Amino acid sequence: MKLQTPSLLYLVCITSLLFILSESTQPPFSCDASDPATKSYPFCETTLPITQRVRDLVSRLTLGEKISQLVNSAPAIPRLGIPDYQWWSEALHGLAISRGMRFNGTIRSATSFPQVILTAASFDAVGIEGRAIYNVGQAMGLTFWAPNINIFRDPRWGRGQETPGEDPLVTGKYAVSYVRGIQGDSFEGGKLGENLQASACCKHFTAYDLDNWKGVTRYVFNANVSLQDLADTYQPPFQSCIEEGKASGVMCAYNRVNGVPNCADYNLLSKTARGQWGFNGYITADCDAVATIYEQQGYVKVPEDAAADVLKAGMDVDCGSYLLKYTKSAVEKRKLSLSEIDRALYNLFSIRMRLGLFNGNPVKQPFGNIGLDQICSQEHQNLALEAARNGIVLLKNAKKLLPLSKTETTSLAVIGPNADSEQTLLGNYAGPPCKTITPLKGLQSYVKDTRFHQGCSAVNCSSAFTDQAINVATQADRVVLVMGLDQTQEREKFDRVDLVLPPKQQNLISAIARDAKNPIILVLLSGGPVDISFAKNDPHIGSILWAGYPGEAGGRALAEIIFGDHNPGGRLPVTWYPQSYTNIPMTDMRMRPEPSSGYPGRTYRFYQGPKVFEFGYGLSYSNYTYEFLPVKRNKVYLHNQVSSHVVGNSNPPGYIPVSKIGTEVCDKIKHQVTVRVENNGKMAGRHSLLLFVRPANMSNMRPVKQLVAFQSVNLKAGERAEIELELRPCEHLSLANEDGTMVIEEGSYFLSIGDKEIEIQAVK
């Protein structure tokens, strides 16, 4: 039977519509044990290897059926008992409204954790709630398109809020934690094996960190990236996500890298991800990225070439309809072989089988007991609160203004457009929260006489009510301003052009601070960094807190910190640059500085210029001191057999390729660095230890410094602890040379925590 493309499109659309209208309480699944017509198929036989089951399934499909499965809204195949499936679901920091999930049935909310830029929450909880909403029949899929692990390279990026920040190590560790949590690695002691609680998808592969800046959009942007920067900045988080996290999904990005669209790059998708890193999963395009290759980038001459190129590159599923429209004609025009379609289908159905969706009713499978009681459970809401508490950063605390006294603060003014905005707390890619506590509500629970004024009609302060706000402020003992940004100022498809607050908002802050009875407290909600030099240097502004977008419990967490029920310990995940940094084109992808041209470099690792606040900065109500304990080895012997003739012409003398050192030696030279940390304050606190390394001899090739290990420790007042941090020289002392090869330079290095340093040497 000849299957026409319009019929396929109609089938996909009607399938999605039926799901939206459906009120089913049963999860969709294949291989129903009560259906004799399907249970006899080999692909339903759970004792067979998944590879064998998938091959049997794919062999039974017609070409039309095969093509229908190459898009995110995969329709049902009734004759084989296969239900429709939606690949596109979102869970960036909690379950979110998306094509594959609805909140109009029994479940109407889910736990909303802080936006990623503030903190990395408990991802097990997100995976559990995802499986729960599927089990009650309110989801069409269990493939979540998160985490976003692009490096927050430029402070203006609208989607930087979705990432863990600017450091490759932190981003890689976050990726691994997210993937393992979502996919259920810890379920019943790790008994799942290749099976999945839910599927995580690391995005956006690769070098994607521009959405829409001064008319340059992500759809047409060609990121010119050196092999050096790819190797030690842009690629490491994805490598960690795949090799350590065992991610089951990857999303290729819209943009081109060095002229080649990411989704059509065989070297990136097949050679690097699958070949070098051992990726075992499916690769999706970002939505309409396949269409973009022809329609906006002009990379190919006809639409069929776009369809053929992405499938031959190793992509498996199109978020969109381009493969639905043009794959059949690409085959007929001999631009694409059937084997490439089959390869994609093997990857796609393998994931669905690993999710247990071809094993009969999921409710009777390992995750079948996850249900309504897991959604918005008290345990998960407590995790959201704890994550917000630990992520909020104290940026200024002149004369120890904070914490405020609960007994002596008799009246409080809370002012600002973000003070009572539930939506601002959530950031983007959010679902309906369990319950939301705004900063105003949180503070009202501490001070009965709390007065509120919005101050501005919106965050941009197009209408500022300065006189009224000042009047409210001057009648209170203490003033808390809750200001900053929201999704109107930074979001997907919208990058900033400035780093300062909207001018009228800044004027309002200064005016209230000047007239208030006592120094005020400024709270900033934002995803990206803001140049608040004016507030940092204003003596009328006593304390400043940055709270990111702290999720459903953010208001309570802020109030607890302001009144001393929690000791702040958060650290900034990005450098806060001055407004002058906007003179640098956002399109310049170079990480390393170029002094001859005045280019200052990017992120704390390479940037050479003034800062408002440094990466890793954060104050506490306690004072912590550090001491390095004597190291067992202060010399790292790289390899007795490495000599200059194996180094290669591309490396200067004294640079040794890590590949020549070898895995065995790299493992042998790993060792522990012990740091004694003491809480000298009067409050218990959670403190983050950040271990950096810097070279004794600087060059433009090397990072100024590099984070190599981090760990949090809870200490009571006066308590001390000895913390072991692992130093892995082959990873932590290496850098990429100009051709992308990881090398170690012989010589001296300094390990540092706070103001303490010790020297180690790398010798041949």
* Catalytically active residues, by annotation: 286
Tokens of residue 658, six digits: 């890590």
Give the residue among 579, 597, 598, 599 at the shortest CA–CA distance from 589: 599
**DSSP strands (E only) in 658-755:** 671-679, 685-695, 706-715, 720-727, 734-736, 742-745, 747-753
DSSP H stretches of helix in 516-571: 533-536, 554-562
Contact call for residues 742 and 232 (beta carbons, < 8 A): yes
Contact call for residues 125 and 380 (beta carbons, < 8 A): yes
Angle between helices 338-354 and 303-313 (to 10 degrees): 60
Beta bridge partners of 139: 101
If one counts every other C-beta atom within 10 angstroms of the C-beta of residue 553, the result is 29
Burial degree of 627 (CB within 10 A; 0-12, 13-18, 19+): middle
DSSP H stretches of helix in 392-451: 422-426, 439-444
User: Hey, is 668 helix, strand or coil?
Assistant: helix
Q: What's the CA angle centered on 635, arms 632 and 638, to 5 degrees?
A: 120
Give every CB contact of residue 195 below 8 A, 6+ residues apart in sequence: 184, 354, 355, 356, 366
Q: How far apart are CA 231 and CA 709, in angstroms?
A: 19
**DSSP strands (E only) in 188-319:** 199-205, 212-213, 216-217, 222-223, 249-252, 256-257, 260-261, 282-285
Contact call for residues 286 and 349 (beta carbons, < 8 A): no
Amino acid at 706: Q
Beta bridge partners of 673: 725
521: enclosing H helix or E strand? strand 520-525
**Sheet (strand 671-679) strand order:** 624-628, 671-679, 720-727
Amino acid at 390: N
If one counts every other C-beta atom within 10 angstroms of the C-beta of residue 714, the result is 13
If one counts every other C-beta atom within 10 angstroms of the C-beta of residue 35, the result is 13
Give the residue among 408, 562, 411, 522 at the shortest CA–CA distance from 475: 411
Contact call for residues 751 and 691 (beta carbons, < 8 A): yes
429: enclosing H helix or E strand? none
Cis, peptide link before residue 147, omega less than 30° from 0: yes
Contact call for residues 764 and 656 (beta carbons, < 8 A): yes
DSSP symbols for 153-211: -STT-TTGGGSS-S-HHHHHHHHHHHHHHHHTTTGGGTTTTT--SSEEEEEEETT---S
